[in-house]
Amino acid sequence: MIAAASLRAEDLSVRYGPRTALDAVTFSVAPGSVYALLGLNGAGKSTLVRCLLGQQRPGAGRALLFERDVWRHRAELLGDVGVVSEEPDAPPALSAREIARFCSRVHRRWDGPGFEERLKRFGVPLDLAVGRLSKGQKGQVALSLALAPSPELLVLDDPTLGLDPRARRAVFEELIGELAERGTTVFLTTHELAAVEGIADRVGILRDGRLLVDEDLEALKARFRRLRWTQPGEGLEKALHAFSPVALARRAWGLEVIVSRFDEDAWARCSGPGAAEVEAIRLEELFLALVSDPIGQRGAA
């Protein structure tokens, strides 16, 4: 039996003419977890988010919110979903307080005091027209509006894009606090890989419309390693196939390889008599290794 999920994609496929934007994408987001979807620009993230929110009908497959088809039941389902888009679209002539007053009338639940307290904490004027706020302040308004109805699921589509470092940190600090307080389920697309590493339970990596990775973050980091040899022996590169290398570079000092299936026993057999090192890698390095050109198509570093 497939476990219930807050959000699920089942073989989602989308084409724009001859171009495939999504290619049979399948994954699920467990209740109370944080799922981070990573991908370069043009990988298909925005198309996927639109399908997940019922804003776009996929060519094949389906998206489910709380195990119901979002395309068929969008109006009923989105009341329990908070959304922060890449470009917040709050009416620029209205203040945050006026927008909140309107939104409070269309939601079953609304935490007005929490909304105002959150904006005051980050120094966002409640009575100034949104169009006159900074980009970071607009992002805080959008996040506060999304959280005020106490959603079961929060969908964040690259919410810190274009923000300065202080504003980005504020968004993630607020998100971490929300998760600790309520255990809200979060689906997040972002370029902030360092921040994701501190909050994500599971990671998906999208490349050219295909989901290359869908895995618990800790398990993913455990099987990726950087291997280095200052005196690589003959036949070493052939032996590396057991580790499923994803990036290989010949340096002036020796050989460096990022592998996707590290194994302690295999490492002991092939580390050899020369100086050899193994180390964990950060999520950002792992991501870049997977979305870059495959081994054999990139030049020596």
> Token pair for residue 180?
């600790």
d(CA 236, CA 250): 13
d(CA 183, CA 195): 18
Total residue length of the chain: 301
> Token pair for residue 19?
């171009």
Residue 200 DSSP SS3 = coil
d(CA 103, CA 297): 52
Q: Where are the domains of the chain?
A: 7-219, 224-291
**What is the pLDDT tens value at each position of the chain, 301 positions in all?**
456 899 999 999 999 999 999 999 999 999 999 999 999 988 999 999 999 999 999 999 999 999 999 999 999 999 899 999 877 778 999 999 999 999 999 888 999 999 999 899 888 999 999 999 988 889 889 989 999 999 999 999 988 877 778 778 877 877 776 776 777 899 999 888 888 888 899 999 999 999 999 999 999 988 899 988 777 666 676 777 778 888 888 888 778 889 888 888 777 776 555 557 888 888 998 998 888 765 543 433 3
Burial environment of residue 245 by CB neighbours within 10 A (0 to 12, 13 to 18, 19 or more): middle
> Token pair for residue 42?
């043009």
- The 254-259 sheet, strands edge to edge: 245-251, 254-259, 225-229, 276-279
Q: What is the DSSP letter of 138?
A: H
Residue among 143, 75, 59, 197 nearest 48 (CA): 59
Domain 7-219: give its CATH superfamily. Answer: P-loop containing nucleotide triphosphate hydrolases (3.40.50.300)
**What φ, ψ does residue 69 adopt, rounded to 5°?**
-65, 115
CATH number of 224-291: 3.30.70.260
How many angstroms separate the most distant Cα atoms in the chain?
72
Reading phi first (left if > 0) and then psi (alpha if -120 to 50, else beta), residue 272 is in: left
